């Protein structure tokens, strides 16, 4: 899968960016921990991805909503909701961003792999695209 480039991200509406960020957060949190270093790395990735559109108080507000949704609805419901919120053209981008988040520490935790596969299934990704994302992790 090719990187869509920064121009693509600039054109996205706030709700689309938030869905992409939520996908990244779910992977960051999927192993059950979300330490201060992970949060800092996540915040940096989001700021870079959004070219600063989602930083500071706005970032904190978005993450607080994601945390509440995850706590109240659970991981499976969040994944299903993302499928409904992400247009088909954004699903492969979301999967790439999620895999990049998983790759950030250089170790694919079993919970991260399980979630990536869950996302790919929910997003109705072609098995070849899913394999490409996971193989990309292995070669990074």
- CATH number, domain containing residue 113: 1.10.3680
Q: How far out from the chain centre does Cα 30 lie?
A: 11
pTM given for the model: 0.85
Range of the structural domain that residue 59 is part of: 6-139
Cα 125 to its chain centre, rounded Å, is 15
- Is 130 inside any structural domain? yes
Tokens of 56: 């500071």
Give 25: exposed, middle or buried? Use CB within 10 Å, 0-12, 13-18, 19+.
buried
In a domain, 24, yes or no: yes
User: How many domains does one find in the chain?
Assistant: 1
Token couple for 7: 């121009």
Q: Categorize the per-residue pLDDT at 72 as very low, low, confident or very high, splitting at 50, 70 and 90.
A: very high
- Model pLDDT for residues 16-59, shown as the tens digit of each residue: 999 999 999 999 888 777 777 778 888 888 888 888 888 889 88
Whether 1 is covered by a domain: the verdict is no
Asked whether residue 16 is assigned to any structural domain, the reply reads yes
pLDDT tens digit string along 93-105? 899 888 888 877 7
């Amino acid at each position: 899968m090719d990187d869509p480039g920064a121009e693509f991200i600039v054109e996205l509406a706030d709700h689309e960016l938030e869905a992409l960020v939520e996908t990244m957060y779910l992977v960051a949190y999927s192993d059950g921990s979300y330490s201060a270093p992970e949060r800092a790395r996540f915040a940096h990735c989001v700021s870079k991805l959004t070219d600063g559109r989602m930083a500071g108080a706005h970032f904190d507000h978005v993450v607080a909503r994601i945390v509440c949704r995850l706590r109240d609805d659970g991981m499976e419901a969040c994944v299903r909701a993302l499928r409904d919120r992400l247009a088909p053209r954004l699903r492969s981008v979301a999967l790439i961003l999620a895999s990049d988040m998983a790759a950030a520490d250089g170790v694919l935790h079993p919970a991260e792999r399980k979630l990536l596969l869950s996302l790919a299934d929910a997003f109705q990704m072609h098995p070849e695209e899913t394999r490409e994302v996971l193989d990309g992790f292995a070669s990074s």
